Amino acid sequence: MGEERIDLGEGSPWPAALELEDLLEQLRGRARTAQRSQERLGALLDAVVAVSADLDLSVVLARIVRSACQLVDARYGALGVLGPDGEHLSEFITYGLTEKERATIGDPPRGRGVLGLLIRDPRARRVRDISAHPESSGFPPGHPPMHSFLGTPIRIRDRLYGNLYLSEKQGAPEFTADDESMLIALAANAGVAIDNAQLYERARRQRRWSDASGEITRMLLEGRGESSALALMVRRVRELTGAELAAVGIHDDEGLVVRAIDAVDGAAEVGTLLRGDQWGELMSGREPLLLVPGSGEDLPQPAMVASARALATIATAGPTALVPIAVGEAELGVLVVAWDPSAESAATASLADLADFAALAGLGLEAAGAQRERARTVLLEDRDRIARDMHDHVIQRLFATGLSLQSAARLATNQVVQDRIDVAVDELDAAIKDIRNSIFALHRPDFGAGVRGELDEIVAAAAESLGFVPDFVVEGLLVALPDYAEVDLVAVVREGLSNIVRHANATSAGVHVTVGRDLVVEVTDDGVGAEPEAIRSGLANLERRALASGGTFEVRRREPSGTLLRWSVPL
């Protein structure tokens, strides 16, 4: 008879005489294998949860590297993010290296050697000894020794985002096929997590850009002054892009003039004239341009870079974005943004946002310009109406009154009465001449550019420092003021607003000028208030001006908060 065989369910017959202990050992081995598989699957699930638990991109990338190392027992790990060219690494996130080791190694790798192999041929790879691989280019001085290697690409949909690099399998000379499978599975989930984090970051970035556009548009439409709005524009641009420099040039009668600059370290003065035909070519193209040193673009790049670099003292030329600001056929200006040489990826990612921001800023500038033109038109129409009313009603009535008095003078028998009537007629003639001079002044294009224009500039300058526009009201005609009163008026308004800027911590302020029998100036705020004794030391000069002209000056608290400065002199 032949030997009896027992089928254990795996298709492998065993001799009946096989010792039970061997059979149990086989079963124990399979149980341990199943348990290890279950543990590794649990570890993979934990890693998946870990990399998906946050939406901040930098946190997600760091968690991916850490989870990968823990999953396959690697001592060192890194995640290399591909740059815009798809051939070099723009970011390199590491795990397992100390700060001292990173500082000793120096600049992060750009994607040569075994690291570059995954860039050129993106598929998972296992290497027993990095130094023995034909693609190895060696390690820089101070780099810790590394032998075993495991790498796999990370894809977002069909696009290669970067690569996971792991080294130094702990407890074994090399990584296993199971390690490779686990890493591939983690990399697939990492692509989804990175995609979600990028979408979240994009939405958050767009909201910040939208808020900045709205803030600048509000400033322009509230009449706070174009200079203040442009200064805020370049400050917000530099903050949102992380750039070294942001500047804006606006077209005027002289050409393209830099109106605002915000830079980390040194900048040209505001008012720099951007010369050269290249700026006209840029504006006519209406497309944003990113100049990357050494990219060899077929554009007027050298002249462009030279002009852009003239705006700042940055040691090494980095990526520079030139973004036209235009609305319809109107070419308003150009936005210039310059980054550190290492920020090429940030510059590329910011270009579309800068183009949208420049378009919205252009609309704000155009709307503010139209608003100013409408206000000017309304002002001119108002002047015409006042001039007509003064000519058709006031002058005619005064003239008729003068004729009546002249007729009455011929009937007067008393010489004293006749003399007084003649004096009254002369006064009426003088008043008619003054009114006619005022009417002519109302029709001058530069009417109000004198003392009124100076006061407007003082209020606008204060608005830049305060962050809001003070109310400014004038009752009466400033053109009739004597020269000494104009000088005093400017001094009072300037000093009053200057004190609010320096001391008041106010959220609103106002300047009220009344021209009548007296010249009265009231400067108010809703700030913390001030002790009259403390203010008098700083405003003593205004008090002397008032007393010299027979007027009065006072500073007092307002209720519920704030200060009132009142200056008055007779005219």
Return the number of other C-beta atoms located less than 10 Å from residue 345's C-beta. 17
Site of tokens 């190895």: 136
pTM of the model: 0.55
Q: What is the 3-class SS of 213-244, one letter each residue? A: HHHHHHHHHCCCCHHHHHHHHHHHHHHHHCCC
Nearest to 193 by CA among 67, 43, 345, 344: 67
Q: What is the 3-class SS of 156-209, one letter each residue? A: ECCEEEEEEEEEEECCCCCCCHHHHHHHHHHHHHHHHHHHHHHHHHHHHHHHHH
Strand pairing report for 509-515 and 471-475: parallel
Residue type at 20? L
Residues of the chain with pLDDT under 50: 1-6, 8, 16-18, 296-300, 312-316
Q: Encoding tokens for residue 409?
A: 């003078």
Domains contained in the chain, CATH given: 38-201 (3.30.450.40), 204-367 (3.30.450.40), 449-571 (3.30.565.10)
The number of angstroms, rounded, from the C-alpha of 538 to the middle of its chain's C-alpha atoms is 37
Report the pLDDT value the prediction gives residue 305, as an integer from 0 to 100: 54
Report the pLDDT value the prediction gives residue 194, as an integer from 0 to 100: 81
H-helix or E-strand containing 418? helix 415-442
Strands across the sheet containing 552-557 = 471-475, 509-515, 518-525, 563-570, 552-557
User: Per residue in 535-571, pLDDT tens?
Assistant: 555 578 888 888 888 999 988 888 888 899 999 999 8
- Measured in degrees and rounded to the nearest 5, phi and psi for residue 128 equal -70, -40
Report the pLDDT value the prediction gives residue 520, as an integer from 0 to 100: 93
Rounded to whole angstroms, the Cα distance separating 324 from 531 reads: 51
Residue type at 127? V
Residue type at 409? A
Note whether 369 and 252 are within 8 A (CB).
no
The number of angstroms, rounded, from the C-alpha of 400 to the middle of its chain's C-alpha atoms is 64
Report the pLDDT value the prediction gives residue 519, as an integer from 0 to 100: 92
